[in-house]
Amino acid sequence: MTDAREVRTACPYCGVGCGVQARVAADGTVSVRGDPGHPANAGKLCSKGSALGETLGLDGRVLHPEIAGRRAAWDDALDLVARRFSETIAQHGPDSVAFYVSGQLLTEDYYVANKLMKGFIGSANIDTNSRLCMASSVAGHKRAFGEDIVPGVYADFEEADLVVLVGSNTAWCHPILYQRLLAAWAERGTRIVVIDPRRTATAAECDLHLQLKPGTDVLLFNGLLAHLAGCGAVDQAYVAAHTSGFDATLGLAVADAPSVRRVADGCDLDPADVATFYGWFASTERTVTVYSQGVNQSAHGTDKVNAILNCHLATGRIGRPGMGPFSVTGQPNAMGGREVGGLANQLAAHMGFDDPSAPERVGRFWNAPDIARRPGLKAVDMFEAVGDGRIKALWVMGTNPAVSMPDAGKVRAALKTCQFVVVSDVTRTDTSHFADVLLPAAAWGEKDGTVTNSERLISRQKSFLPMPGDVSPDWWIVSEVARRMGFAEAFDHPGPAAIFREHAALSAFENDGARLFDIGGLAGLTDAEYDALVPLHWPFPIGASAGAQRLLGDGLFPTADGRARFVAVRQEGAALPVDAAFPLVLNTGRLRDQWHTMTRTGRVPRLMANAPEPAVELNASDAAAQGIADGDLVRIDSRYGCVRAKARIGIGQRMGEAFLPMHWSGRFAANAAAGSLSAPVTDPFSGQPELKHVPVRIMRE
């Protein structure tokens, strides 16, 4: 028996990216506590993070490769995957195959998968479930700043005098960040404004809750821009020196939102509350505006992001202490995936297909002459192509699209008819049932690599448990398939440290400062230095001794002319309006104690205790109109599907609106997958689906 040991790692759940100390006792049992030395959480953990030690059992794990549902040897499974992908590409071209990956992957896993698909298969058909999470923020950042940049750091939450939370139930979805904000609220009287159609736990504890009509955020922020101009709060010197497009943007904003009264009418708000918010924003230099899935998961998500960014550009409040726009991501490594090019429209290291020289540059670095030269299919389009047979071989890594994608019933039908489906995952999921080849992937605690949280902080995730059965890390599985496809030289990776060094070197390759994502200073880490890497912010270019904290505060932007761009946006109507047949707006989202489709958190009784079954929240008037009482079993129908859940009647919902958690699926409640109700309608810039405004009807069963 060996002595107890403690390993410093990072939480695998939300984008806060807390540090965790995992203690493995001599008898092999694991306990966790917050890492007091980690800058994101300083020793604290939320309910999910503190229960991590209880999620590590082998129940439900995929422990061996399987071919057609039968246990197989690694060599046979890998040979089959490589052969079927190679044959499909030879017959139908590189765009006939696709990877659908995950913000649960580590950066090194993501890097290798992206390199294989874009660099060596020669298609950009690799997209990630982060498409469902924050793609609109990526698109908005690129339109305004020229690159996908989050300018601020978490300390800004504590140094701000006003924090505006838009479409973000921070108290439940980013709990430790919320605790930091509440501590600042108590200490220095930070004002908190919550903009959300629901009265969430976050809205219950703020100075002003704007419970606006769903989807009217652009109108509210266009009104704010008009107000800032009208009251002299625009920083004219900053706008003149560092931006372009202000006049046209302001013109459209004023036409869209000419008065507080018009904004209040359009957003269904009290004009006095709108005026209060506008007054506080105009008069508070240190303002942080936080936005999350309520903004991103929309058919107009990118415009919403830019409406917010416009107000920060107009006031010059970007990248300085206590001020700036701040996108908080859902997943632990949504940022790392963005960095390596995990999105179908990104190439690698923040280079995209919009720069014609970028594919050649990345191709030179990888020695990959057949590199993809145009964007691939984004998630919703990818599954559409699986369904109609354009994509004939699909590899799903670490995610559960059979439940989580919009119009999930159609996604399941597509998976069923696809010629060849590979799933690599930790546990059996709704999606793994469709796998021709199922591959056992290493879980949290077994794998090694890095993740990047919402404030650009790169942290190590470390192994402290042996890999059970035949389980292997994702980077190894992808590399082995690549080697069998004939790309052995490029995928001869000895381990995650070497992959990280290559990723870091690519970020600096032919980078004269035009791209802010540059971690070239980490490209020379030894294996031991990588192992001991302490959390640090990017950029970290060659010669740096510390990662950069805030970005863009100097007014220099990574655009062709160095200026930020105002983006003129107007309030559009709902992409999916309600009607007589489907009169209620359904919103979907997270609960405090659950994560994604509950494959881990669903194992922990104390996390299940607060919400043991799926429940749809309803306004009392809507419930009464249908004769629904609290606790009744109800049927929720949309044009795309039907689910069943218990009714919960409360004060959280506006009249005409309902809320269903996103977590439940086959193992826990087969008929309650919220994705079955959602429409495959997407934002035209980001490709992110509309998950917050689904017309439904709700009837008692």
CA distance 285 to 169: 24
Q: In angstroms, give the least distance from the CB of 20 to ligand SF4.
A: 7
CA distance 669 to 681: 25
Name every residue whose Cβ is closer than 8 Å to that of residue 186 and which is 6 or more positions away in sequence.
none
Q: Is residue 340 involved in binding ligand SF4 (CB under 6 A)?
A: no
Among 24, 32, 39, 48, binds ligand SF4 (CB under 6 A): 48
3-state secondary structure of 469: coil
Among 140, 146, 175, 687, binds ligand SF4 (CB under 6 A): 175
Q: Is residue 46 involved in binding ligand SF4 (CB under 6 A)?
A: yes
Structural element, H or E, at residue 274: helix 271-283
CA distance 165 to 179: 14
Q: In angstroms, give the least distance from the CB of 560 to ligand SF4.
A: 37
Name every residue whose Cβ is closer than 8 Å to that of residue 93 and which is 6 or more positions away in sequence.
none
Both tokens assigned to 364: 């030179």
Is 456 exposed, middle or buried (CB count within 10 Å of its CB: 0-12, 13-18, 19+)?
A: buried
b/e burial code for range 238-253 (CB count within 10 A of at least 16 → b): bbeebbbbbeebbebb
Q: In angstroms, give the least distance from the CB of 180 to ligand SF4.
A: 10
Using CB under 6 A as the binding criterion, the count of chain residues that bind ligand SF4 stands at 14
Which C-beta is closer to ligand SF4: that of 49 or that of 661?
49
User: Which residues from 125-144 bind ligand SF4, rule CB under 6 A?
Assistant: none
Both tokens assigned to 48: 């999910």
Which C-beta is closer to ligand SF4: that of 49 or that of 167?
49
Q: Cα-flanking dihedrals φ and ψ of residue 334, to 5°?
A: -60, -35
CA distance 450 to 32: 19
Give the interface segment with ligand SF4, choosing from 168-176, 201-209, 490-498, 567-575 (CB under 6 A): 168-176
User: Which residues from 369-388 bind ligand SF4, rule CB under 6 A?
Assistant: none
Q: Cα-flanking dihedrals φ and ψ of residue 62, to 5°?
A: -90, 115
Among 21, 41, 216, 331, binds ligand SF4 (CB under 6 A): 41
Q: Cα-flanking dihedrals φ and ψ of residue 686, to 5°?
A: -100, -20
CA distance 670 to 588: 17
Q: Is residue 213 involved in binding ligand SF4 (CB under 6 A)?
A: no
Which C-beta is closer to ligand SF4: that of 328 or that of 519?
328
Rg over CA atoms, the chain: 24
Q: Is residue 557 involved in binding ligand SF4 (CB under 6 A)?
A: no
CA distance 213 to 478: 45
Give the interface segment with ligand SF4, choosing from 16-24, 116-124, 142-150, 662-670 (CB under 6 A): 16-24
Give the interface segment with ligand SF4, choosing from 11-19, 153-161, 362-370, 639-647 (CB under 6 A): 11-19
Q: Is residue 11 involved in binding ligand SF4 (CB under 6 A)?
A: yes
Alpha helices in 316-433 (DSSP H): 334-340, 358-366, 379-387, 401-404, 408-417
Give the interface segment with ligand SF4, choosing from 173-181, 216-224, 483-491, 550-558 (CB under 6 A): 173-181
Q: Cα-flanking dihedrals φ and ψ of residue 120, to 5°?
A: -115, -35
3-state secondary structure of 654: coil
Which C-beta is closer to ligand SF4: that of 8 or that of 48?
48
Which C-beta is closer to ligand SF4: that of 46 or that of 696?
46
Which C-beta is closer to ligand SF4: that of 184 or that of 233?
184
Q: Is residue 16 involved in binding ligand SF4 (CB under 6 A)?
A: yes
Q: In angstroms, give the least distance from the CB of 692 to ligand SF4.
A: 21
Which C-beta is closer to ligand SF4: that of 122 or that of 330?
330
Give the interface segment with ligand SF4, choosing from 10-18, 356-364, 399-407, 461-469 (CB under 6 A): 10-18
Q: In angstroms, give the least distance from the CB of 140 to ligand SF4.
A: 23
Which C-beta is closer to ligand SF4: that of 17 or that of 324?
17
Give the interface segment with ligand SF4, choosing from 40-48, 63-71, 257-265, 359-367 (CB under 6 A): 40-48
Which C-beta is closer to ligand SF4: that of 146 or that of 152?
152
Q: Is residue 45 involved in binding ligand SF4 (CB under 6 A)?
A: yes
Tokens 């924050």, located at residue: 134
Q: Is residue 17 involved in binding ligand SF4 (CB under 6 A)?
A: yes
Name every residue whose Cβ is closer than 8 Å to that of residue 70 and which is 6 or more positions away in sequence.
none
Going 249 to 255 to 256 to 257, the CA torsion angle's sign is positive
Which C-beta is closer to ligand SF4: that of 250 or that of 457?
457
Q: How many residues does the chain have?
A: 701
Which C-beta is closer to ligand SF4: that of 17 or that of 146?
17
Q: Is residue 13 involved in binding ligand SF4 (CB under 6 A)?
A: yes
Q: DSSP string covering 301-319, please?
A: HHHHHHHHHHHHHHHT-SS
Which C-beta is closer to ligand SF4: that of 114 or that of 129?
129
Structural element, H or E, at residue 482: helix 474-482
CA distance 430 to 268: 40
Give the interface segment with ligand SF4, choosing from 12-20, 151-159, 573-581, 618-626 (CB under 6 A): 12-20
Which C-beta is closer to ligand SF4: that of 11 or that of 394?
11
Q: Is residue 176 involved in binding ligand SF4 (CB under 6 A)?
A: yes
Q: Is residue 696 involved in binding ligand SF4 (CB under 6 A)?
A: no
Q: In angstroms, give the least distance from the CB of 45 to ligand SF4.
A: 4
Q: In angstroms, give the least distance from the CB of 16 to ligand SF4.
A: 4
Among 9, 14, 615, 618, binds ligand SF4 (CB under 6 A): 14
Of the candidates 591, 466, 570, 567, which has an alpha carbon nearest to the alpha carbon of residue 252?
570
Q: In angstroms, give the least distance from the CB of 128 to ligand SF4.
A: 19
Q: In angstroms, give the least distance from the CB of 18 to ligand SF4.
A: 3
Q: In angstroms, give the least distance from the CB of 166 to ligand SF4.
A: 19
Alpha helices in 593-683 (DSSP H): 605-608, 620-625
Both tokens assigned to 514: 């035009």
SS (H, E, C) 36-82: CCCCCCCCCCCHHHHCHHHHCCCCCECCCCEECCEECCHHHHHHHHH
Q: Tally Cβ neighbours within 10 Å of residue 562.
A: 11
Q: Are 471 and 63 in contact (CB under 8 A)?
A: yes
Give the interface segment with ligand SF4, choosing from 44-52, 155-163, 417-425, 579-587 (CB under 6 A): 44-52
Structural element, H or E, at residue 283: helix 271-283
Give the interface segment with ligand SF4, choosing from 45-53, 54-62, 193-201, 620-628 (CB under 6 A): 45-53
Residue whose CB is nearest to ligand SF4 in the complex, by number? 49
Q: In angstroms, give the least distance from the CB of 445 to ligand SF4.
A: 14
Which C-beta is closer to ligand SF4: that of 296 or that of 682?
296
* Dihedral angle of Cα 336, 494, 429, 697, to the nearest 10 degrees: 20
3-state secondary structure of 104: coil
Residues at the contact surface with ligand SF4, assessed by CB under 6 A: 11, 13-14, 16-18, 41, 45-46, 48-49, 174-176
